[in-house]
Amino acid sequence: MAIYNSPGVFIQDQMKGQSSIAQSTSHVGALIGKARSGVVNVAQKVTSWTEYISKYANGLDTPFSSDSYLAYSVYGFFQNGGRELYVVNVKNNGVAASKEGTVVTAKAKYVGTWGNSITITLTKNKYWRAAGQNDDGNLSFDVTVAIGSGEKATVLDCTIANIVSKVMADTSIANWLEEFKIKTDVSALAEETFTLIGGSEGTPLTDSDYTGALSKLDFIDNLTFVGIPGQTSSAVNSAIMIYCEEHNLFPLLDMPVGSTVEGVNTYRKSISSFTGALCYPWGKVNDPVTNTNKLVPTCGHVMGVYARIIESRGVHKSPAGIEAVLRGFIELETRLTQSDISLLNPAGVVCLVSKPNIGIVVWGARSLNSEDENMRYVSDGLLNLAIKKNLYNITQFATFEPNTEDLRNRLSTVCKAYLETLRTNGAFKGTGDEAYYVTVDDSNNTEETIAQGLLNIEVGYAPVKPAEFIVIKLVHSIESN
């Protein structure tokens, strides 16, 4: 308690022991795959396509490659309105390119074949030389580092005394080279050009390499969506579903390219998860590498659509319909008929279709949960995950507090305030009493549970459901004269 020695009015901040109702985001995604460059087997956050290029294709002629769908999916995520994404670049036993020149040695910053295109050139600078030196003395040199037909950077006026520090102080070069140093037996610079060699992608990736990378997402608190574009085996899809169920995340799955409607229907009936979406078919995008149309998996593009609709309409809005336009897709691998949709939609496949005057849209709202009617829709699962994450966050203040009636009242208040915010935003049906309830009192907190260090909170809510089938009945009344 503060001690006051003079008359007056004193104002203090009083901590009530409960957190503010700051909701965690529900539109953060994660994509796992192989990038051309960049740090490997670490989850890194990117908030734009430009940042992805900076971290995973810095200086390269293109971030896209023929042996990976990751860059296409990341581009689709941001193109469709996604704002925050975690990327895991998967490589196994990769080697960074390196080379010993006549004067200097260098090594690429990241593993991969991209480093084999790095060329280093030392050129005499004819217009400047150190004081006291003649034309036969130790002239200064310019150093140029280039990456194939991509970017290059030049550092001017380098001597043997400062060449290492000056070159590695260049921001671009520091993003391309891990090492640049003078050979121990060299006492003077000389002109030379050499290209790094030995860069390798490592051993071919297997299903277990991709699914093992899921653990890199363990410590991301605000994550919602997870996808592994292009890796569509049953083993990969099963691992994604299991991981997401254990970590309260939403999986986005793809079928293998070339799958038939019947094959998709059969596969969908063989799997079930707490929530998630299986999207079909693949879409075609313009490939900057070949300047032709390329088939790509849908998880990155759909993830961007989901993120966009959650942010603009709320987590309770089913992310489907005419506003769920898939930007970037030129056409679909398979044009689904109404008969196809009637077969796949009840089975729980999220169909992608082309609508005249609208474009290609997400035309399905069913989730991977085939057992619980309360989790039938994508929006059911997303809302449930958001509520669990936010209630977890806003009740953290109660940990280690005395388990008293006062604490339980405060928990009831903060939980109801959060649920009321959802109700007023249209997530629940009915009035306050009908839409949700919070029980945290003596009925579920007995002397026995309190003695065990437990504090139980029971929350129930009545979510709104999407209008999946709109039935219009026209009655024509013809009056006779």
Residue 186 is predicted with a pLDDT of 86
The 104-108 sheet, strands edge to edge = 98-100, 104-108, 177-182
Q: For residue 240, is pLDDT > 70?
A: yes
Mean pLDDT of all residues in 388-393: 92
Residue 185 is predicted with a pLDDT of 87
Mean pLDDT of all residues in 313-325: 95
Q: For residue 10, is pLDDT > 50?
A: no
Alpha helices in 349-460 (DSSP H): 378-394, 405-424, 432-435, 447-451
The answer to whether residues 31 and 87 touch, using CB atoms and an 8 Å cutoff, is yes
Mean pLDDT of all residues in 135-146: 78
CB atoms within 10 A of CB 174: 14
Closest among 249, 195, 242 to 31, alpha carbons compared: 249
Q: pTM higher than 0.75, yes or no?
A: yes
Full set of structural domains in the chain with CATH:
29-91+203-375 (3.40.50.11780), 98-195 (2.60.40.4290), 406-481 (no CATH)
Q: pLDDT tens digit string along 91-128? A: 999 999 999 999 999 999 999 999 999 999 999 886 55
> Tokens representing 175?
């993003």
Q: pLDDT tens digit string along 250-262? A: 999 999 999 999 9
In the beta sheet, which residues pair with residue 193?
A: 121
Question: Quick one: CA dihedral 134, 137, 138, 141, positive or negative?
Answer: positive
Q: pLDDT tens digit string along 334-349? A: 999 999 999 999 999 9
Mean pLDDT of all residues in 12-20: 45
Question: Percent of the chain having pLDDT more than 90?
Answer: 81
Q: pLDDT tens digit string along 415-471? A: 999 999 999 999 999 887 889 999 999 999 999 999 999 999 999 999 998 864 545
Going by pLDDT thresholds of 50, 70 and 90, the confidence category of residue 15 is very low
Q: How far is CA 283 from CA 76, 351, 437, in A?
A: 11, 12, 43
Q: For residue 322, is pLDDT > 60?
A: yes
Which DSSP string do the residues of 421-437 spell out, in sequence order? HHHHTTSB-SSHHHHEE
Residue 478 is predicted with a pLDDT of 54
Question: Quick one: CA dihedral 42, 47, 49, 50, positive or negative?
Answer: negative
Tell me which residue has tokens 């039938």: 376
Residue 1 is predicted with a pLDDT of 47
Contacts of 109 (CB under 8 A, 6+ apart): 96, 174, 175, 176, 177, 178
Residue 14 is predicted with a pLDDT of 42
Question: Percent of the chain having pLDDT more than 70?
Answer: 89
Residue 470 is predicted with a pLDDT of 46
Residue 450 is predicted with a pLDDT of 92
Average pLDDT, the chain: 90
Task: Report the C-alpha gap between 90 and 82 in whole angstroms.
Answer: 22
| DSSP 8-state assignment for residue 375 | G
Task: Report the C-alpha gap between 320 and 309 in whole angstroms.
Answer: 9
Q: For residue 213, is pLDDT > 70?
A: yes
> Tokens representing 350?
């999220």
Helix, strand, or coil (residue 202): strand
Contacts of 153 (CB under 8 A, 6+ apart): 144, 145, 146, 170, 172, 173
